[in-house]
């Protein structure tokens, strides 16, 4: 396991992350817990449901989520599974460092270029661009992502929400996850 991939990308700013986020990204592990999935209203809800289906999210309501986090020479791997169904894996490849670089998240035909802001010890993703099957998505039609992980009472709060200008929220999942078998 290449445990330094995240620490190396953050450099000195790695120490600004909450200690539990530091540990998670040094050792990897499995997080699990309940998350709530919701969709927008009207047309944004219809778009959100279609998007969620492509991302293999279940319907609205409370669901069990497991995330397996591991590191390799290629980057950071996240395997997500809702209700013990099919696992969807994203690979996050670091480019440069926090000051002059970004991460490339690859999930199937979707690639996102992401930066990270550290706010009060939390990890907040900032989407810079999106490609689908290698075709850049223009910013004016690109869904906005609000995605972060923070620590609350020794649990990991995950929040992922996709929205569109004028329409609002398409789909959102959020909840508190605990580290299984902490070392």
114 against 139, higher pLDDT: 114
63 against 165, higher pLDDT: 63
Size of the chain, expressed as the number of residues it contains: 183
**Is pLDDT of 1 > 50?**
no
60-89: burial string, b at 16+ Cβ within 10 Å, e else: beebbbbbbbbbeeebbebebbbeeeeeee
Residue 129 CA: distances (Å) to CA of 39, 53, 137, 139: 23, 22, 7, 7
**Is pLDDT of 131 > 60?**
yes
User: Which range is most confident: 12-26, 39-53, 138-152?
Assistant: 12-26
pLDDT of residue 52: 85
Residue 171 CA: distances (Å) to CA of 9, 65, 77, 135: 30, 16, 23, 23
Calpha distance 137→148 (Å, rounded)? 22
Whether 79 contacts 10, CB under 8 Å: no
pLDDT digits (tens, 9 = 90+) for 29-59: 999 999 999 999 999 999 989 888 877 888 9
Radius of gyration of the chain from Cα atoms? Answer: 16
Q: Over the chain, what is the mean pLDDT?
A: 90
pLDDT category, 101, cuts 50, 70, 90? very high
Q: What is the reported pTM?
A: 0.88
**Is pLDDT of 183 > 60?**
no
* Mean pLDDT confidence for 139-166: 90
Domains of the chain: 5-180 (2.40.128.20)
């Amino acid at each position: 396991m290449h445990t330094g991939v995240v620490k190396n990308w953050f450099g000195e700013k790695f120490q600004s992350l909450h200690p539990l986020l530091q540990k998670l990204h040094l050792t990897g592990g499995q997080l699990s817990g309940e998350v709530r999935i919701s969709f927008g209203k009207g047309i944004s809800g219809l778009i959100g449901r279609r998007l969620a289906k492509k991302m293999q999210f279940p319907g609205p309501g409370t669901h069990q989520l497991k995330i397996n986090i591991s590191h390799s020479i290629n980057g950071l791997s996240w395997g997500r599974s809702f209700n013990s169904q099919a696992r969807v894996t994203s690979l996050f490849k670091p480019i440069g460092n926090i000051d002059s670089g970004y991460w490339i998240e690859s999930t199937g035909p979707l690639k996102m270029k992401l930066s990270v802001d550290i706010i009060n010890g939390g990890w907040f993703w900032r989407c810079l661009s999106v490609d689908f099957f290698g075709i850049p998505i223009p910013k004016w039609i690109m869904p906005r992502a609000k995605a972060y992980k923070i620590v609350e009472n020794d649990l990991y709060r995950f929040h992922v929400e996709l929205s569109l200008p004028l329409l609002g929220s398409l789909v959102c999942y959020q909840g508190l996850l605990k580290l299984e078998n902490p070392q």
